[in-house]
Amino acid sequence: MIRRASLSFGLAAILVALSSPLTAVGEQDSKLAAIVRNATQQYQNVANASPDYGPVLGCVSGPDHGAMGVHYVNLSLVNGGTLLGDSQNLDPAKPQALIYEPQPNGEMKIVAVEYIILAGALPANAAPQVEGHLMQLIGSPNRYGLPAFYELHVWAWKENPQGSFADWNNHVSCDHQ
């Protein structure tokens, strides 16, 4: 009986230890999503995005599943306009792109933001991040016709089954563009 109790206690201790980092990651995810929602609340109505943000590329769908939506980009922010003091961190309150999903009634609904910075705006071997989340390098050539860039999506306005920072969202569609 003592042996079974110590095994159960040991297993419980391991499970608690393993679950702690997962909780911290979830809290961090929620923190960045909350910052994004607060900073972009004014853009719920797509008309408020202008003149700072404008549509680029049309509705972007995934290569094999899901979509992103229509990117409204603030070009002045893409080349490092929101870098914080150490030139590796972007200001989480100033996303370079707002992402909207076309709705059946013709309206556009904000679903996410994307942080974007051209690789050429950073020092060699940079590791840019937003609120502790590393950005992903997209090399060149790429399907967007852009030079190499770093990006990070935050699905703050629509749940993404692949995760808060995945590129493609199976719950987003370009069908109504």
Kindly report whether the peptide bond that precedes residue 102 is cis, defined as omega within 30 degrees of 0. Answer: no
| Residues facing residue 49 across a β-bridge | none
pLDDT by residue, tens only, the chain of 177 residues: 444 444 333 333 333 333 333 333 455 568 999 999 999 999 999 999 999 999 998 999 988 889 999 999 998 888 766 665 555 688 899 999 999 999 999 999 999 999 999 998 888 888 899 999 999 999 999 988 889 999 999 999 999 999 999 999 999 999 998
pLDDT of residue 61: 92
| pTM of the model as a whole | 0.81
Distance, in Å, from the CA atom of 158 to the CA atom of 160, rounded to the nearest integer, reads: 6
Strand, helix or coil for residue 137: strand
